[in-house]
Protein backbone atom coordinates (compact mmCIF):
# COMPACT_ATOMS: atom_id res chain seq x y z
CA UNK A 1 0.00 0.00 0.00
CA UNK A 2 2.84 2.36 0.89
CA UNK A 3 4.63 1.66 -2.39
CA UNK A 4 1.41 1.93 -4.40
CA UNK A 5 0.56 5.36 -3.00
CA UNK A 6 4.13 6.55 -3.45
CA UNK A 7 4.26 5.37 -7.08
CA UNK A 8 0.77 6.43 -8.18
CA UNK A 9 0.13 9.54 -6.11
CA UNK A 10 3.60 10.71 -4.97
CA UNK A 11 2.17 10.41 -1.47
CA UNK A 12 4.22 9.22 1.48
CA UNK A 13 2.36 7.49 4.31
CA UNK A 14 3.55 5.52 7.31
CA UNK A 15 3.06 1.87 8.20
CA UNK A 16 0.29 2.69 10.65
CA UNK A 17 -1.71 4.50 7.96
CA UNK A 18 -1.17 1.61 5.55
CA UNK A 19 -2.42 -0.81 8.21
CA UNK A 20 -5.51 1.37 8.77
CA UNK A 21 -6.23 1.33 5.03
CA UNK A 22 -5.73 -2.45 4.87
CA UNK A 23 -8.06 -3.21 7.75
CA UNK A 24 -10.68 -0.64 6.71
CA UNK A 25 -11.10 -1.28 2.99
CA UNK A 26 -8.45 -3.85 2.02
CA UNK A 27 -9.67 -7.17 0.70
CA UNK A 28 -8.18 -10.26 -0.89
CA UNK A 29 -11.46 -10.92 -2.72
CA UNK A 30 -13.70 -8.38 -4.38
CA UNK A 31 -16.91 -8.68 -2.40
CA UNK A 32 -19.08 -5.72 -3.04
CA UNK A 33 -19.61 -2.00 -3.11
CA UNK A 34 -16.71 0.28 -3.80
CA UNK A 35 -15.91 1.70 -0.38
CA UNK A 36 -13.28 4.38 -0.25
CA UNK A 37 -10.84 5.71 2.30
CA UNK A 38 -9.44 9.19 2.83
CA UNK A 39 -5.65 9.02 3.06
CA UNK A 40 -3.47 11.76 4.49
CA UNK A 41 0.24 11.90 3.91
CA UNK A 42 3.07 14.05 2.60
CA UNK A 43 3.24 15.03 -1.05
CA UNK A 44 6.67 13.92 -2.26
CA UNK A 45 6.75 16.69 -4.88
CA UNK A 46 5.82 19.71 -2.77
CA UNK A 47 6.69 18.33 0.67
CA UNK A 48 3.33 19.57 1.95
CA UNK A 49 0.51 17.58 3.54
CA UNK A 50 -1.86 16.06 1.00
CA UNK A 51 -5.17 14.19 1.19
CA UNK A 52 -6.42 11.75 -1.44
CA UNK A 53 -9.23 9.22 -1.64
CA UNK A 54 -8.55 5.61 -2.63
CA UNK A 55 -11.10 2.93 -3.47
CA UNK A 56 -11.33 -0.57 -2.05
CA UNK A 57 -10.83 -2.00 -5.53
CA UNK A 58 -7.63 -0.01 -5.98
CA UNK A 59 -6.28 -1.28 -2.65
CA UNK A 60 -7.23 -4.86 -3.56
CA UNK A 61 -5.22 -4.48 -6.77
CA UNK A 62 -2.31 -2.94 -4.84
CA UNK A 63 -2.29 -5.95 -2.50
CA UNK A 64 -2.75 -8.57 -5.25
CA UNK A 65 0.95 -9.31 -5.75
CA UNK A 66 1.55 -9.74 -2.02
CA UNK A 67 -1.55 -11.92 -1.61
CA UNK A 68 -0.42 -14.07 -4.55
CA UNK A 69 3.02 -14.50 -2.95
CA UNK A 70 1.39 -15.61 0.32
CA UNK A 71 -0.74 -18.18 -1.51
CA UNK A 72 2.26 -19.43 -3.49
CA UNK A 73 4.22 -19.81 -0.23
CA UNK A 74 1.40 -21.81 1.33
CA UNK A 75 1.24 -24.08 -1.71
CA UNK A 76 5.01 -24.69 -1.61
CA UNK A 77 4.79 -25.56 2.10
CA UNK A 78 1.92 -27.96 1.45
CA UNK A 79 3.85 -29.61 -1.40
CA UNK A 80 6.79 -30.22 0.96
CA UNK A 81 4.64 -31.43 3.85
CA UNK A 82 4.96 -35.12 4.82
CA UNK A 83 1.82 -37.12 3.89
CA UNK A 84 0.75 -37.77 7.50
CA UNK A 85 0.86 -34.08 8.36
CA UNK A 86 -0.85 -33.15 5.07
CA UNK A 87 -3.70 -35.47 6.01
CA UNK A 88 -4.09 -33.70 9.38
CA UNK A 89 -4.10 -30.32 7.65
CA UNK A 90 -6.78 -31.54 5.23
CA UNK A 91 -8.91 -32.66 8.19
CA UNK A 92 -8.34 -29.73 10.54
CA UNK A 93 -7.57 -26.92 8.11
CA UNK A 94 -5.14 -24.05 7.98
CA UNK A 95 -5.21 -21.45 10.76
CA UNK A 96 -4.16 -17.90 9.89
CA UNK A 97 -2.45 -15.64 12.42
CA UNK A 98 -0.71 -12.29 12.27
CA UNK A 99 -1.64 -9.03 10.60
CA UNK A 100 -2.24 -10.61 7.19
CA UNK A 101 -5.08 -12.63 8.69
CA UNK A 102 -6.99 -9.36 9.14
CA UNK A 103 -7.25 -8.83 5.37
CA UNK A 104 -10.90 -9.36 4.47
CA UNK A 105 -11.49 -12.49 2.40
CA UNK A 106 -7.95 -13.89 2.74
CA UNK A 107 -9.31 -17.02 4.42
CA UNK A 108 -11.84 -17.63 1.61
CA UNK A 109 -9.25 -17.02 -1.10
CA UNK A 110 -6.70 -19.40 0.47
CA UNK A 111 -9.43 -22.00 0.93
CA UNK A 112 -10.44 -21.66 -2.74
CA UNK A 113 -6.82 -21.94 -3.89
CA UNK A 114 -5.89 -24.93 -1.68
CA UNK A 115 -9.24 -26.75 -1.44
CA UNK A 116 -8.76 -26.88 2.32
CA UNK A 117 -10.66 -25.33 5.21
CA UNK A 118 -9.04 -22.09 6.39
CA UNK A 119 -9.75 -20.27 9.65
CA UNK A 120 -8.63 -16.99 11.17
CA UNK A 121 -7.58 -17.49 14.79
CA UNK A 122 -8.94 -15.39 17.63
CA UNK A 123 -6.87 -12.25 18.14
CA UNK A 124 -4.54 -12.86 15.18
CA UNK A 125 -2.22 -9.99 16.12
CA UNK A 126 -1.58 -11.45 19.58
CA UNK A 127 -1.36 -15.07 18.41
CA UNK A 128 2.13 -14.69 16.95
CA UNK A 129 3.53 -13.23 20.18
CA UNK A 130 1.79 -15.86 22.30
CA UNK A 131 3.07 -18.67 20.09
CA UNK A 132 6.60 -17.32 20.21
CA UNK A 133 6.37 -17.12 23.99
CA UNK A 134 5.24 -20.75 24.22
CA UNK A 135 8.11 -21.86 22.00
CA UNK A 136 10.63 -20.01 24.13
CA UNK A 137 9.14 -21.52 27.30
CA UNK A 138 9.60 -24.99 25.79
CA UNK A 139 12.81 -24.52 23.84
CA UNK A 140 14.04 -28.03 24.69
CA UNK A 141 11.03 -29.56 22.93
CA UNK A 142 11.71 -27.38 19.90
CA UNK A 143 15.34 -28.46 19.73
CA UNK A 144 14.22 -32.08 19.26
CA UNK A 145 12.31 -31.26 16.08
CA UNK A 146 14.54 -28.62 14.52
CA UNK A 147 15.99 -29.47 11.14
CA UNK A 148 19.73 -29.10 10.87
CA UNK A 149 20.82 -26.39 8.41
CA UNK A 150 22.98 -29.07 6.76
CA UNK A 151 19.89 -30.98 5.68
CA UNK A 152 18.11 -29.78 2.57
CA UNK A 153 14.95 -30.74 0.77
Domain positions in the chain are 2-61, 68-145
Share of the chain above pLDDT 70, in %: 93
Complete DSSP assignment for the chain: -HHHHHHHH-EE--HHHHHHHHHHH-BSS--SS--EEEEEEEETTT-SEEEEEEEHHHHHHHHHHHHHHHHHHHHHHHHHS-HHHHHHHHHH-EEE-SGGGGSBTHHHHHHHHHTS-EEEPSSHHHHHHHHHHHHHHTHHHHHHHPPPTT---
CATH number for the segment(s) 2-61: 3.90.640.10
pLDDT digits (tens, 9 = 90+) for 59-113: 999 999 999 999 999 999 999 999 889 899 999 999 999 989 999 999 999 999 9
The architecture (CATH level 2) of 68-145 comes to: 2-Layer Sandwich (3.30)
Amino acid sequence: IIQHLKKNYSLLIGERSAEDIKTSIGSALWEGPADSFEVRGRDLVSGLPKTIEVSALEIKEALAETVEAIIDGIKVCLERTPPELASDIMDRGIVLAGGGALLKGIDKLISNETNMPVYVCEEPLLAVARGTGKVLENIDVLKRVLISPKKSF
